[in-house]
Amino acid sequence: MAGSETHYTLPRATFERPVKLLIVVAPYYREIADDLIAGAKAEAEASGATWEVVEVPGALEIPTAIGIAERLSSFDGYVALGCIIRGETTHYDTVCNDSSRGLMMLGLQGLCIGNGILTVENRDQAVVRADAAGQNKGGGAAAAALHLVALARRWGTARKGIGFQPSRDAIQIAGSTQDTTTA
């Protein structure tokens, strides 16, 4: 059983400047979400980071909330928390795959995200993984986000964009009024 295995854990990330995390949680299974949040908060505090928690309706909305926060706020990193338990339909596969894919795409754009969305077969598996005194997947997700923040700070400021960026000429043309009539 996975609960009895031991795994190597990186030493806790350290910072010279304060770190601000956004913990985005889908509390569909409230008790499990609360345990994940407790683990994430404890890890953030142990690293000297501050945090804010926001709730979204479900796991599919977590990447969207993180994307909005990245554009409109000033967080250094993000922690995605939730729980998806297999049901009787293929909806489980869709939610697992698409929420994970959304987070990965944001990560590839340079966002520092720890993925703590549990994908399990049953509630018992979720309880074991969420328990802050057990597998502490919420704390692990926060630690992952913090390690990525530390790497981003180590490597310095962005030198070039990732992904599609409109050219400055296109921005200027779009923002100006042009006379399309001929003399």
Q: What is the CATH number of the domain that holds 27?
A: 3.40.50.960
Q: Exposed (0-12), middle (13-18) or buried (19+): which is 180, by Cβ within 10 Å? A: exposed
Q: Is residue 9 part of a domain?
A: no
Which residues are catalytically annotated? 91
Q: Which residue in 97, 98, 57, 106 sits closest to 79, CA to CA?
A: 106
| Residue at 12 is within a domain | no
pLDDT in tens, 14-63: 999 999 999 999 999 999 999 999 999 999 999 999 999 999 999 999 99
The pTM for the full model equals 0.84
Query: Which range marks the domain in which residue 81 is found?
Result: 18-175
Q: Flag whether 158 is in a domain.
A: yes
> CA quadruple 32, 37, 38, 43: dihedral positive or negative?
positive
- What's the full length of the chain, in residues? 183
Query: Considering the domain boundaries, does residue 2 fall inside one?
Result: no
- Helix, strand or coil for residue 96? helix
Inter-CA distances, 122 with 15, 50, 119, Å = 38, 32, 9
CB 81 within 8 Å of CB 56? no
Structure tokens at 86: 């297999």
pLDDT 10s digits, 110-136: 999 999 999 999 999 999 999 999 999
- How many domains does the chain contain in total? 1
Query: Within a domain: residue 126?
Result: yes
Q: Which residues, listed in sequence order, are joined to residue 51 by a DSSP beta bridge?
A: 21
Assigned domain for 3 exists: no
In a domain, 8, yes or no: no
Contact 158, 110 (CB under 8 A): yes
Instruction: Classify residue 182: in a domain, yes or no.
Output: no
How many Cβ atoms sit within 10 Å of the Cβ of residue 108? Answer: 10
